[in-house]
Every structure is written in structure tokens, then in C-alpha cells.
Amino acid sequence: MNERDVAIEAAGAAATILRDHARPNTIHHKGPMDLVTEVDLACEAAIRRVLAQHTPDVPVLGEEGGGAGEALTRWVVDPLDGTTNFVHGIPHYAVSVALQIDGMTEVGVVHELPRDRILVATRGQGASCGGVRLRVSEVRDLSGALCATGFPYDRSHAGRCAAVVRATLLHARGLRRMGSAALDLAYVAEGRLDAYAELNLAPWDTAAGILLVEEAGGKVTATPGPGRSRSSCPIASNGWVHDVWAALFGSAIDPEDR
């Protein structure tokens, strides 16, 4: 089994659990606004079992289970991206699985639920969903772009988030905040969204989605998270609006202005 198929199988193992547990019974709090359910934990365990079976020597970096550390070759997994949506019964969440080799993401899978769509990218071979090649949109002006963002759990960034919302509403067609970074990136790759950016994300939030965007012809850049955080702020687009979008987002999150 090749690495692409392993990633699809691993994501599918978690998706099966999510389909069987539409609403979780037990919710734990990692922080005041950060939820983790028994389903998150079961999904990551299922992913790890599949990866251990097929690639036992490759470490796994996961949102719930940690691991892998600074390894350059590793699996990067988010067993449930959009946990808050899932907990509240909002049908918009995903499983994200990516393989990084020598620090470069080579395979990315985003399994969208509950629609049960599998979006796959392999470096140099494009991105697809259900056998259909993904292509970013051709919107060439930010004034016609539908953009997306997300809000970090750390409320100290509320001012920056408000600035992003204000600037986007003033200069773009519209703004969406849907609650899953993996799906926001996937939607840019599909041309549903034209641009996306978000504060303070971890590798498991974006590894697969970034490859989808790049292989669909889009552009992704990243800036370090504010302060001493080791997180990053990915900026993704169809490429046509990238410079203007990146400048808008960068100006909005500039700590000198907040």
C-alpha cells in the first residue's frame, strides 16, 4: 500500500468513528474554550493504529497524543478538526492526515464530514476529490473574493481578530468563519473560497490543507504567530489575490496596531 492510500485509510478509520458518534456523551475541557471529547481520543487512536500497521518506523505528531517532536519525517494528524462544531451538532468538521518527509508535506488527506468527501493531494501530482481534479478560483480582485478566517482560543488576540474582520468586510466580497481550518483550506483548493488566513495554528491544523491548496494551483505563505508562540499564521489564496490579501491580514494582526 502506498503512502497516499495509507493516509486515506487512516483518515477513514477516524471518519468511521465520527459517523457512529454524531453527538458525544463526554466532553473534557483542555482550556476555557478548548473542548476535547472521548471521540477525539478514539479517532486519534484509530489513526495511529493504521499508521503503525503500515509505517511502524514513522513517528506521529497528533493534536491529542503529541509525539514526533521535531522529527523531519513524520505523520501529522488532526483526528477531529472542528471539535466545537461536532459537539454542538453542526455538520462541518473533518479528519486531517499528512505525511511530511524531510520537513516537506508530500501527502495530504482531508476527510470532510458528515458529507463523507475525501480530498487528497500528493506533491507534484495535483489534488482531487472523488477523482475530480481540484482547481482554485480565478477571482482576480479582492473586492470580489469570498474569504475565511478563524478565531484562536486565546482571547488575548480578540483585538487582532476584530481587526481582520473589519478589514476584510471593508475590502472583500464577504467573510466566513466556519470553524475548521482544514476545511477552509480545502475549500480554497476547490475554488469555493478565494482566500483564507488565521492566527495561531499548529501543524496538525494545516499540514494536509496547505498541500491541497498548493497542488490545486493556489498559494500559501505563513508568518510566525504573535509573541513567543511557536504557532504560525497561514495565509492561503487562489494566488491572484494573494499579495493584497496577505498585506491586509498582516496589517490587521500587526501588534503595533492592536
For 55-84, what is each residue's pLDDT tens digit?
A: 999 999 997 776 666 788 999 999 999 989
Task: Point out the domain boundary residue: 133, 164, 186.
Answer: 133
pTM: 0.92
Same domain, 57 and 35: yes
Same domain, 105 and 154: no
Copy the grid coordinates of residue 235. 495565509
Pairing mode of beta strands 195-197, 146-148: parallel
Same domain, 228 and 202: yes
How confident is the model over 161-205, as pLDDT tens digits? Answer: 999 999 999 999 999 999 999 999 999 999 999 999 999 899 999
Q: Give the whole-angstrom CA distance, residue 30 versus residue 103.
A: 28
pLDDT over 90 at 226, yes or no: no
pLDDT score at 33? 42
Same domain, 177 and 126: no
pLDDT over 80 at 37, yes or no: no
Specify the DSSP element, H or E, that contains 123: none
The domain tally of the chain equals 2
Domain that holds residue 33: 3-133
Question: CA–CA distance from 253 to each of 143, 153, 225, 249 (Å)?
Answer: 20, 16, 10, 6
Same domain, 203 and 103: no
Same domain, 119 and 220: no
